[in-house]
Every structure is written in C-alpha cells, then in structure tokens.
Amino acid sequence: MAESITIEKSAPKAVKYEQLLPQIKALVGEDTHAIAIMANVSAALHSAFGYLWTGFYTVEGDQLILGPFQGPVACMRIRIGKGVSGAVLAGGETIVVPDVDKFPGHIACSSDSRSEIVVPIKNSQGKICAVLDVDSIQLATFDETDKKYLEILCGWLGDKIF
C-alpha cells in the first residue's frame, strides 16, 4: 500500500495525471470501501493539483449528497438538473466550465470558485452513482486533458466501488 503520493510539480498536466493515476490505484489496492476510496482519491487529486475544492457527490434518488472532499465547506444536497453537478446527473456526460459565472444556474457553494469540471461515475450497468466535482480559483483551469484523465479515473472508480 502506498503511504504518500509523489508528483513532479513542474511537469505538464498530462504527465502529472500519468504519474498520479497508478499511485491512486496502488493506494487503494484491493480495498472496495466506497467512502474510504473516495476520501483518499479526493485527497490525492487535491494535493497533486492544488485545486480549491475536490470531492464527490453520491446519488440518492433525484439528488446528489455530499461525499468525501477536500477544500472549503460545500453544498450538502444538489437536485438533479441544478448547477453543474446536477446537470451532469441529468445529462450523464462530463461538463467542463471555463467560467462558472457564465454557466446558467450555477450553484455558488464557494464564491472563490471560477472554473469547474464535473465527471459522472457510472456502475457496470451505466447508471450514474456519483460525480467527481473539481473547482478552481482560476478561470479556464480545466481542459480536454483533465476531461480525459478524470474520465479514466472515474471509469475505474465506477468499476471498483459501484
């Protein structure tokens, strides 16, 4: 089991993800406890990239419930179709938001958030069971590189814990 995560801080974003993902898998190992895994994954991502907020919401009925996260306090419940996370729950696809102030219906859990990416986590039947939500204090932080690697991570998580 890995005891820490080591990332080359000055490396390009893709290289950081390529360094990080195998370390997350090693950290998790054979464990299947969803909360423990989401807690360490959010901590690893948050530590590696220094984002404002990095965490998970799990699906209960027609809403998302706050799960393990790193960062400032957050919205505890988000209804389907509301905000970026609720839009991902409704639509089933990753959403990258370069400027949250321009996203219709954005929920400002933190006024410091300027850009966001939300990735669905689906089980083997294709049902969304959770979302990974990452916020940054900078505009346009997230791009196709983040989308690619976070979708890989979330695909693995869906298979592993849901």
Q: Give the bridge partners for 95, in sequence order.
A: 118
Give the integer Cα–Cα distance in Å for 95 and 157.
18
Q: What's the average model confidence in pLDDT over 131-149?
A: 98
CB within 8 Å of 27: residues ≥ 6 apart: 1, 2, 5, 40, 44
> How much is the pLDDT for 107?
79
In whole angstroms, give the CA distance from residue 162 to residue 156: 10
> What pLDDT is attached to residue 79?
95
With bands split at pLDDT 50, 70 and 90, how would you rate the model's confidence at 1? very low
Distance CA 134, CA 122 (A): 17
Amino acid at 108: A
For position 148, what pLDDT does the model report?
98
| Confidence at residue 57, expressed as pLDDT on a 0 to 100 scale | 98
Angle between helices 144-161 and 34-49 (to 10 degrees): 160
Residue 2: its pLDDT value, please?
Answer: 53
Q: Domain locations in the chain?
A: 13-161
Instruction: Please write the tens of the pLDDT for every residue from 35-91.
Output: 999 999 999 999 999 999 999 999 999 999 999 999 999 999 999 999 999 999 999
Instruction: For the domain covering 13-161, report its CATH number.
Output: 3.30.450.40
